[in-house]
Amino acid sequence: MELGIGMFGDLALDQSTGKYRDAGTKIHEILEQVKLMDEVGIDVFAMGEHHRPDYAVSSPEMVLAAAASITKNIKLASGVTVLSSSEPVKVYEDFSTLDLISNGRAEIFVGRGSFIESFPLYGYSLNDYEALFDEKLELLLKINTEENVTWSGKLRAPMENQTVYPRAKNNGKISIWRAVGGTPQSVLSAAQLGMPLVVAIIGGMPIQFKNLIEFYKQEYQKAGHDVSKMQIAIHSHTFVSNDQNVVDGYFNNYKSQMDRIGASRGWAPYTKMQYDGGRSKDGALFIGSPAEVADKIAYMKEIFGITRFIGHMDIGDPAHDIMMNSIELFGNEVKPMIQGL
């Protein structure tokens, strides 16, 4: 089972000035953190895309390309590419270039995205939310498997025997994962297309997703895909520390970001009771000591049969030294505990 780390590039808000932390400083910290991930044997790094003042990264491809130049083995993925508001030709070109820079380590996680700020920013209508994604995914998958593309749709100009370069390694094919939040139709589509699946489990109890993942497995097999090639990942909020004060203090980072997002979505203020409940065996937060986090990941392997776990670590912009320690423990202590699962 592969072990990965995901980030969104969260920026802390300075309450005294009302300003977010400097994005450039944050990006340089992320690159130091990815370098450490590579050194301690983390398998995958996934960088998210947002277009808001409280996140530092709007172009994961740029950060991943910088990371490629200072790492050797870690896979470099978007987490996620909001495909509905992206241009599939450009997505492929960017990631095939990343694939060449990194010598075959690029991956794309595609999703609709739970944040919608990119739609008005790039001039797309939310009325086309579903259709945009379906059409662009069809085109991206075609580009990924065919060097000369002929395609037509309703929301984009057609392509007639056009070429998309440069081609990635592995005969031009990049690993493209479908990232979902729990919608059965999205899971069904991924299974029918034979796409690897990433399920975001960030609240409630993970066991609630068991039927959904079993549904994916059944439909994947029913569609005639090779079961030996099936890949399933979960992406959950994670933080590792041997210091209970750090674990308890991470609640403040977590609450700050949850409340900031929740204010625009009608959520009630996040509570310590929710945090502690999420950290329990049956909860969706993988926050605690290396042994506690490893036990919960092993439990995910047991109930879901996952092939990859991605721990999302930078919620609320924890201090750089605390992040570095969490990454080091994740690679040096958590990973050995789950190897062989």
State the Cα–Cα distance between residues 256 and 144, nearest whole angstrom.
40
Q: For each of the chain's 341 residues, which pLDDT tens digit applies?
A: 999 999 999 999 998 899 999 999 999 999 999 999 999 999 999 999 999 999 999 999 999 999 999 999 999 999 999 999 999 999 999 999 999 999 999 999 999 877 889 999 999 998 998 999 999 999 999 999 999 999 999 999 999 999 999 999 999 999 999 999 989 999 999 999 999 999 999 999 999 999 999 999 999 999 999 999 999 999 999 999 999 999 999 999 999 999 988 888 889 999 999 999 999 999 999 999 999 999 999 999 999 999 999 999 999 999 999 999 999 999 999 999 998 77
27-50 exposure pattern, b = at least 16 Cβ within 10 A, e = fewer: eebbbebbebbbbbebbbbbbbbb
CA angle 326, 328, 331 (to 5 degrees): 105
CA 104 to chain centre: 19
206-244 as b/e, with b when 16 or more CB fall inside 10 Å? beebeebbeebbebbeeeebeeeebebbbbbbbbbbeee
Q: Hey, what long-range contacts does 274-280 have (CB within 8 A, 24 or more apart)?
A: 275/251, 278/203, 278/237
Entry pTM: 0.96
Query: Does residue 290 sit in helix, strand or coil?
Result: helix
Are 27 and 60 within 8 A, CB to CB? no
What's the CA gap between 222 and 211, in Å, rounded? 16
Residue 100, judged by CB atoms within 10 A of its CB (0-12, 13-18, 19+), counts as middle
Q: Which pLDDT belongs to residue 166?
A: 97
| pLDDT confidence of residue 39 | 98
Instruction: Using alpha carbons, select from 104, 82, 85, 95 the residue that is nearest to residue 169.
Output: 104
For 215, the token pair is: 């549904």
Check residue 197 and give its pLDDT.
98
Give the pLDDT score at 325: 98
Report pLDDT for 297: 98
The domains of the chain are located at 2-121+168-338
C-alpha 123/C-alpha 298 separation (Å) is 43
Instruction: Give the helix/strand (H/E) hosting 210.
Output: helix 210-222
13-14 and 308-312 strand pairing: unpaired
